[in-house]
Amino acid sequence: MRVLKSLAELRKWRQQQSEVALVPTMGNLHDGHLHLVKTALERCDNVVVSIFVNPMQFGANEDLDSYPRTLEADCQALDALGVSAVFTPQVSDVYPRGLDKQTRIEVPGISDILCGASRPGHFTGVATIVCKLFNMVQPQLAVFGEKDYQQLQVIRLMTQDLSLPVEVLGAPTQRETSGLAMSSRNGYLSPEQKQQAAALYRTLQKTKVELSVSTNFSELEKAAEEDLSQAGFVPDYFSIRNAKDLQEATAEDPEWVVLAAAFMGKTRLIDNLRVSNTSAR
Ligand code: PAF
């Protein structure tokens, strides 16, 4: 497995390859990431994993400095899976003119709602780095986790809007046996908080069942937020949306997605569940 530490090294390597699949990550890899890599390997023998903690997608009060960096262990795990290359550029290589002067990609309509409302500028940071990674790596396929559902939809729209020749594939959320979605941020939770946090998925599942008999979305959302508070969370949002564009749900939508973000202590967790509307024609 090649470890490519600069854009120049990546470009030189890329010239010798034909098809490539990309799995963009910020490192600190867990089984959820490894599942994305396996999904990519099922489609393409030549997989590149990028490991880059992207400063542009972190807010001023967020965990950029303390974000766990575990490059050696990450590379060992990726090598064992049969990944061809790891791309780990420096911030100065990715943003040579500095963050302030960097050209940005903004995907309107979807970037400032839900997580985008709580984390202003976050999805501009995500769309910009993913667009840059697509241009740097020039993959035919890129795999992202469905756990970050809003991020996945932002990336799909960005790829479509900019006519980028990349197939964006979403891979199902990997869960602990408790149902808790795997996330790098779970590492911030104490064992007790980890147990409590499984209530997030249970609440999504409960709402899914309730959606088969009710489309009183605001009532369902309110009840779910109360359940989350009871379970020890401080809810940020709990929202039922159209699964495609994440606009407010209507009874006619063919598919909904129930999205939640909530704080367990200082740790902000997100999760989602898609629900098909069996009464829509
Ligand atoms: O999901 C992530 O880890 C990041 O948001 C991504 C897609 C690698 C962009 O930095």
Distance CA 157, CA 162 (A): 8
Ligand 1 atom, smallest distance to 54 CA: 10
Distance CA 171, CA 137 (A): 20
With a 6 Å cutoff on the Cβ, whether 159 touches ligand 1 is no
Where does residue 92 rank: exposed (0-12), middle (13-18), buried (19+ CB within 10 A)?
exposed
Distance CA 245, CA 67 (A): 30
Task: Provide the 10 A C-beta neighbour count for residue 151.
Answer: 22
Ligand 1 atom, smallest distance to 145 CA: 1
- Average pLDDT taken over every residue of the chain: 97
58 Cα to the center of ligand 1, angstroms: 11
With a 6 Å cutoff on the Cβ, whether 24 touches ligand 1 is yes
With a 6 Å cutoff on the Cβ, whether 148 touches ligand 1 is yes
Kindly report, residue by residue over 118-132, the tens digit of the pLDDT: 999 999 999 999 999
Smallest CA-to-CA distance from 272 within 112, 146, 130 is with 146
Give the three-state DSSP class for 275: strand
Please count the residues of the chain. Answer: 281
Kindly report, residue by residue over 188-237, the tens digit of the pLDDT: 999 999 999 999 999 999 999 999 999 999 999 999 999 999 999 999 99
With a 6 Å cutoff on the Cβ, whether 54 touches ligand 1 is yes
pTM equals 0.96
What tokens were used for 33? 């990431």
